[in-house]
Amino acid sequence: MRAAAASYLFAEFVVASSLRPLSMILPLAVAGSLFAGIAVASVASAAETMAVNEKIIVAHRGASAYLPEHTLESKALAYNMGVAYLEQDLAMTRDNKLVVIHDHYLDRVTDVADKFPDRARADGRYYVIDFDLDEIKSLNFTEGFNLVEGKRVQVYPKRFPMFASTFKIHTFEEEIEFIQGLNKTMGKDIGLYVETKAPWFHKQEGKDISRATLEVLKKYGYTSRESNVLFQTFDYPDLKYVKDTLMPELGVDLKTVILITGNDSHETYELKDGKWEPYDFNYLLNPDNFAEISKYADGMGPAYNMLFDLEKTTKDHIVVNDLVKNAHAHGMVVHPYTVRADALPEYATDVNELYQAILIDADADGVFTDFPDLGVAFLQKYQAEHSK
Ligand code: G3P
Ligand code: CA
């Protein structure tokens, strides 16, 4: 779990009960500007049910609670669970191919240490960028693990068994063809939610992952704000480069989401006076900056804890801060990450309480979850119960 936001930045309102009716919530919502196909909650009571209907579930790395993250098998399962978007995290290989993988390392989710024992860097990690695609495709992919005293220990013990069956890493192009193929056969239009992983790191290594990503998206027809894709990144300086330089140069204009984490994550670095320094994520949490941020981002993706005053929030007493309200006031939607039924925060007894806190109490427009089936079921049940 990433660190909580500096919640003192936001004014608060108290949600007395996490099960109160929607009519008590929506007066606090704003009439926001909309993504094509994604609406934020609007103020009119007649629109309440529609607003809930339009909230979205994003399959975080696929149906990653049930099958190893980011595998095509996991994406197929999530597709059939009724999500609006399937997420892709991207890293670049030595031979400049984009592969779908969360880390820019290979060692948490593959047998790279067995197959290429001499290819770790000094820090002990095996970097995607040090391997060619055919080498990466030779690896077996698995449910994620940590090394504890030299032994592989599964991160989420109740999930798919480590190294069971056979899974492989695939390219971004292969995944787009997979999803577009399913859209054709299933008669749906499920979107891509694409994250360039560590653009700053790829720049340090002489690679422009964002350019490569946009070029692939363009090749497959994702070129405009009407295209069913969201471009997300934790790297705000790179997002500015994407919007100011890359998109105009490539003749594309896609919707974007800025991801937010705590500074202790060291998720992003920026070049300052010729030196790479940790990026200060507090900039993205200060509402004074939201007008400027909204020039570059159509949405925000904070860790879900950032929506609440954690010092005051307890079970049955969810205290929401103003992050969503302020984002909506600047026309941005909010899609927090990541709901996991097997890693709940202290203030949620079960996963439905957490979906309720995020999607209803805090009024987020969607959520990333490892359990897409439970997210879809929550929204369907909520909508059915509140449409009478
Ligand atoms: O991109 C949204 C969410 O996936 C961010 O977390 O670290 O899983 O990419 P992460
Ligand atoms: Ca991601």
pLDDT, tens only, 297-313: 999 999 999 999 999 99
Mutation to probe ligand 1, out of 2, 56, 69, 87 (largest number of atoms < 8 A from CB): 87
Average pLDDT over the chain reads 89
Bridge partners (DSSP) listed for residue 145: 154
Centre of ligand 2 from the C-alpha of residue 232, in Å: 8
Between CA 212 and CA 373 the distance in angstroms is 32
Bridge partners (DSSP) listed for residue 171: 99
Centre of ligand 2 from the C-alpha of residue 114, in Å: 27
Nearest ligand 1 atom to alpha carbon 195: 1
Q: Given this model, what pLDDT does residue 60 score? A: 98
Which ligand has an atom closest to residue 69 CA? 1
Q: Which residues contact 222 (CB under 8 A, 6 or more apart)?
A: 192, 228, 229, 252, 254
Contact 268, 235 (CB under 8 A): yes
Gyration radius from the chain CA atoms: 20
Q: Given this model, what pLDDT does residue 51 score? A: 62
Residues with active-site annotation? 60, 102
pLDDT (tens digit, 9 = 90+) per residue, 54-72? 899 999 999 999 999 999 9
Q: Do strands 229-233 and 255-260 pair parallel, antiparallel, or not at all (unpaired)?
A: parallel
Instruction: Please count the other Cβ atoms lying within 10 Å of the Cβ belonging to residue 182.
Output: 17
Q: Given this model, what pLDDT does residue 52 score? A: 67
Contact 85, 192 (CB under 8 A): yes
Taking each helix axis as running N to C, give the angle between helix 172-186 and helix 209-219, from 0 to 180 degrees, rounded to the nearest 10: 30
Between CA 358 and CA 335 the distance in angstroms is 9
Residues with CB under 5 A from ligand 2 (ion): 89, 195
Centre of ligand 2 from the C-alpha of residue 88, in Å: 7
Ligand 1, atom 10: closest residue by C-alpha: 102
Q: Ligand 1 pocket by C-beta < 6 Å: which residues?
A: 60, 87, 89, 102, 195, 232, 259, 301, 337-338, 368
CA atoms in the 13 A half-sphere facing the CB of 116: 22
pLDDT (tens digit, 9 = 90+) per residue, 164-221? 999 999 999 999 999 999 999 999 999 999 999 999 999 999 999 999 999 999 999 9
pLDDT (tens digit, 9 = 90+) per residue, 286-299? 999 999 999 999 99
Q: Does the reported pTM lie above 0.85?
A: yes
Bridge partners (DSSP) listed for residue 196: 90
Overall residue count recorded for the chain in this entry: 388
